[in-house]
């Protein structure tokens, strides 16, 4: 079924107002005052829509310890996979509204999945953007095998036959959209094979079950360093130190291919404002630590140091970019 037009349902101006107004509720109290409040001792659960080994899983498990210290209470990371993030997003809306349940989400899960998958019963307006976390570039990946392409141009030539398949972490995820953008710009085709997370998708890619994948370097770097995968190009403005021999998309001939995860913590809109403020302050304090920033850079991720209001505005910009792409994927029947 053709996706409902997101731009028609909610105009960009209206969307900005909704997101900004929601985020503004986090700025009522000074962040230092909020963070100083004593923790309840009850664990905080952060839900992930991707499985172990995904970029979001690696990232949030890195941050969970420092966040627990900042909050003064345990932080539990819980993987709820399925449906390209649908299971996680719908389940968090059913969790108690006690200020102890959050979800790490990103642009694709919020703005694309609900509009290309009729099974999704949630919308981005169900969630409050609590705290920005990261921006992470992507890479086009192939198996590190003698017969595998060694350049992005060579991969495109091979895809011209239309007989190849590519892996993703699920329908509607950025790993799906990144590959679809490549196929659209290269004017070639390939069959989409969705998995329940990046870990499984990249493992099968390394085994040669599919031809290529587009995924975050946070998830892919262990496979690259282990000699299982080969990166053909990265979606960064300049080459990255961790994969300095890998060209940028522009260098590889695709300057318009700009794919990155914009991620953060969200909660049901009815969350107690004080709980949202406290989590926002904790995340901000953790991300401003030089050691954490360096560890993120080592993972090829950048800390998003901005207010919740600025984060909401950034999300509005991303929505305007990705909705037309979601509509084109649904129109061509590529799910």
pLDDT in tens, 189-202: 999 999 988 889 99
State the fold for domain 6-136+260-331: D-Maltodextrin-Binding Protein; domain 2 (3.40.190)
pLDDT in tens, 304-329: 999 999 999 999 888 887 777 777 76
Give the separation between CA 180 and CA 186, rounded to whole angstroms.
10
Give the HSE-up count for residue 250: Cα atoms under 13 Å, Cβ half-sphere: 6
Give one DSSP letter per residue of 165-219, joined into a string.
EEEESSTTSHHHHHHHHHHHHHT---EEEE-SSHHHHHHHHHTTSSSEEEEEHHH
pLDDT in tens, 132-188: 999 988 999 999 999 999 999 999 999 998 889 999 988 888 899 899 989 999 999
- Of the two residues 15 and 221, the one the predictor is more confident about is 221
Asked whether the domain spanning 137-243 has the same topology as the one spanning 6-136+260-331, the reply is yes
pTM of the full structure = 0.76
- Of the two residues 15 and 143, the one the predictor is more confident about is 143
Task: Give the CATH number of domain 137-243.
Answer: 3.40.190.10
In percent, the amount of the chain with pLDDT more than 90 equals: 60
pLDDT in tens, 199-237: 899 999 999 999 999 998 888 999 999 999 999 999 988
Residue 37 scores a pLDDT above 70: no
pLDDT band per the 50, 70, 90 thresholds, residue 39: low
What is the model's pLDDT at position 108? 84
Q: Which secondary structure element, helix H or strand E, spans residue 16, and what is its range?
A: helix 12-24
Give the separation between CA 83 and CA 85, rounded to whole angstroms.
5
Give 132: exposed, middle or buried? Use CB within 10 Å, 0-12, 13-18, 19+: buried
Domain limits of the chain? 6-136+260-331, 137-243
Mean pLDDT of all residues belonging to the chain: 85
């Amino acid at each position: 079924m053709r996706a409902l037009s997101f731009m028609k349902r909610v105009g960009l101006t209206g969307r900005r107002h909704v997101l900004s107004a929601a985020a503004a509720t986090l700025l009522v109290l000074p962040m230092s005052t909020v963070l100083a409040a004593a923790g309840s001792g009850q664990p905080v659960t952060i839900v992930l829509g991707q499985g172990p080994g995904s970029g979001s899983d690696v990232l949030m498990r890195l941050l969970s310890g420092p966040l627990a210290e900042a909050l003064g209470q345990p932080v539990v990371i819980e993987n709820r996979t399925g449906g390209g993030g649908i299971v996680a997003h719908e389940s968090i809306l059913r969790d108690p509204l006690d200020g102890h349940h959050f979800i790490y989400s990103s642009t694709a899960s919020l703005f694309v999945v609900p509009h290309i998958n009729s099974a999704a019963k949630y919308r981005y307006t169900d969630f409050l953007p609590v705290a920005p976390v990261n921006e992470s570039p992507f890479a086009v990946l192939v198996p590190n095998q003698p017969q595998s392409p060694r350049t992005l141009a060579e991969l495109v030539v091979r895809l011209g036959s239309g007989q190849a398949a590519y892996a993703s972490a699920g329908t509607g995820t950025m790993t799906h959209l990144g590959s679809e953008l490549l196929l659209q710009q290269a004017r070639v085709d390939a069959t989409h094979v969705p998995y329940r997370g990046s870990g499984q998708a990249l493992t099968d890619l390394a085994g040669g079950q599919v031809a290529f994948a587009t995924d975050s370097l946070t998830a892919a770097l262990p496979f690259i360093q282990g000699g299982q995968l080969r990166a053909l190009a990265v979606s960064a403005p300049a080459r990255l130190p961790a994969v300095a021999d890998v060209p940028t998309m522009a260098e590889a001939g695709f300057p318009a291919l700009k794919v990155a995860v914009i991620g953060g913590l969200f909660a049901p809109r009815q969350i107690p404002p004080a709980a949202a403020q406290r989590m926002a302050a904790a995340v901000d304090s953790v991300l401003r630590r030089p050691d954490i920033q360096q560890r993120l850079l080592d993972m090829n991720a950048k800390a998003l140091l901005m207010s919740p209001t600025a984060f909401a505005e950034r999300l509005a910009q991303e929505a305007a970019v990705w909705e037309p792409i979601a509509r084109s994927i649904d129109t061509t029947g590529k799910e």
